Chain A
């Protein structure tokens, strides 16, 4: 009898523990999903300035970005003159770059996913967002006074780009603060900082995203949202075609 009692207590505590962990993970899951949705919306249109800083120079690109859900996106460089019209189309799991000067569409192969996008510290993978964070990573949550700190570790058997991601979220504003990316050997590779919260069409969002590679001293890329429109009703699926990629606008 006594024995069974012990077993019972043990089992209860085990299941409690389990569900507790599950609950935490679920919460983390929710938070991450919320964060990921922030910039995306259903159909969005944005004007972005990207500043690429290297120890030697600074390059500023102005571009337009249109996206539909997670599957479709089209980026187009508006300035400077030299790079005007260069565009990137993401459709489902594929990605192409278009160079108007030579009138050529070049597919970005999977091997180039970690490659730089247009010479910035933003990778093609960042743009493509091929990997759904909550699907590919196991999450664990830690709550501090004003932050959620979520640690993402790749699930077994999934191929991911990063070895670990630390995701910091402001608890009160429910906005991302910082992400730290590690490689499979646990070395910090880069940091992404979110700042300058602004209101875009009634939605408060950090307007500046700073990508700082930690293995390249003096390099950083600052992405600033000038405009962000979350219900661009004219952004529909037929915008994201190869023909549109190459058309002058």
Chain B
């Protein structure tokens, strides 16, 4: 710990509680970035369990061929809500939670730029989540279109679809407000001396992510609004019978949807870029190239959307362009993967739980990226479109990518949040169970997809039975082992070894210069930025 830095504001940091209301009202009215970050993280974990339970309904149904437990309609609703809840309710809020907690600490700001709006961004989420989940109980059930909400099916669904549309509107507003906050905080509230190119990598990834959100969320809002008017107000944007074109919806949706993929992936990259250097006891290799790679990924993500649409009848010219553009993304992504590997090269490595999750991320995300390249090839994708190969691909990048990275961040910063070290044994058990069961659940799905098993269908041909059984066993194992996180976090909140201000000897950054647990108010006077804490 930098004694000189800390001495400057130790006197102001003594209050570890807020001065506002107590009890429930404290959480409803709070404008403190740490409180809001905590609420984001708890919210995302609850939604993760809800979405996870839905995925277990799906996997239970797929345990054996034929229809066992649920009707095909309900199965479709489960897979739709599972996806929407995991993307918008679990992964995105989890990383916004990290951003709220850590960005002000990392850049030496007292709070987010617009603290009251920050409160709003969070409290929009629970109503959206209630709208989305309670739509199961309305007549006709929840939306059963898949998370892509393709017309004509989404124009024909019952009122569950309207609830999903409004939930998406609210979630979009929340994301946009959160992004405005993050960009403004990062651009204008950094500690003196911290230039953009000395900024922690997590802040860089969030800066680009927030720009992607701001540019793409209005697109999704527009698309679902057009769906809504097609459904109720007699327009025909996507209705062929009235002169519209359902393919237009796919273009608009994926123009949002592909940046969305990187909205999820980039903050995950950011977390890993903190964890790997800390446990390699080296600086991040190639800081500048990492920054440019993030920016390049963000930019290119807006120009590859139609690789989700190779079989919609787009012309050969389009297929070729989107194939090459998609493959182009592998270059900056490859730069990042190689930089992480090179960071570890000749480092003094140790394998605490955050590092294990970061390494798990690195290996599995690379596999997911590779299958992404396979799917980018038009000729191959025409065969694999809408098969379980695609399901395996995006779960490797979403679960083993984003979720593992979130766990790496959780274990990495948990001592800072709670003031206690977590139980290392339980953490490692959690990692290994997750790693093993994840692969049991999702690796066989590659084979199922290659053999032609279609996704989003509750029944399948006999020859797919064995791999589906393996996959279901893996998914239940994975789901149950996630409950370990609750145990680990509760134990760390209640007690455990006292965490030092800098519990990881290799970790750099301003967040480690404040005591653990981080006091309620930090950096009320901006700290002088010590180059020793810089990431580059």
The answer to whether A and B belong to the same complex is no
B-to-A contact residues, CB < 8 Å:
none
A-to-B contact residues, CB < 8 Å:
none
